[in-house]
Amino acid sequence: MGRRPFVRDQILDAAFDLMAKRGYEAVSTRDIATAAGVGPASMFKHFPTKEDLGRALYAAALKPVQEAFGALTGTPAEVAEAALTVLYRLYDERPRALALLVFPPHDFLPWEVDRANPDSPRCLLQARTGLDDDGEAILWGAMTGPLIDRYLRRRDGEMSPLAAAHAVRIRALVP
């Protein structure tokens, strides 16, 4: 008898919520199993280790971001503006997914955010803007800084309406 797909999804959904709220390191597999409504043994059938679960979670949560960043085209300034719009939309639609992107775990580095992965959002941004490592780091910080501040301070309101005004400021960082 195969594993039931909906149990795997329940586990991923519970892990997503808990890890985005409390951080990867602060959440135990027991916490996740309890939140998912499954037994620990069932959870380990789907994800043998917490790292396996974390990797599956990152792959699912960040796939839309990677796809959107992969489709960015135009001048470096246009790419930066479009990337900002993607990040702000993601924040509005799924702020916890954005938290996974900007606050990766310390126990392991998910491939989706690893700088060795040419398809990671930051590598795609750097390739499409032509910035060096420092320039990309400054650009990334400028784009995610307002999102991080809003997320950590739990301020209300959407970010998408602010994208155009923030893009004007960010354009100055791109040649």
Residue 114's SS3 state is coil
Distance CA 62, CA 102 (A): 11
What band does 1 get if pLDDT is binned at 50, 70 and 90?
Answer: very low
Give the pLDDT of residue 94: 85
Q: In this predicted model, what pLDDT tens digit does every residue of 110-148 receive, in sequence order?
A: 888 888 999 999 999 999 999 999 999 999 999 999 998
CA atoms in the 13 A half-sphere facing the CB of 144 = 19
DSSP characters over 36-51: HT--HHHHHHH-SSHH
Q: How many CA atoms lie within 13 A of 37 on its CB side?
A: 5
Q: Which of 80-89, 137-146, 148-157 has the lowest mean pLDDT?
A: 148-157
| Cβ-contact 80, 167 below 8 angstroms | yes
**CB-CB contact of 22 with 100 (8 Å):** no
Q: How confident is the model at residue 6 (pLDDT cuts 50, 70, 90)?
A: confident
Give the CA angle between residues 108, 114, 163 to the nearest 5°.
115
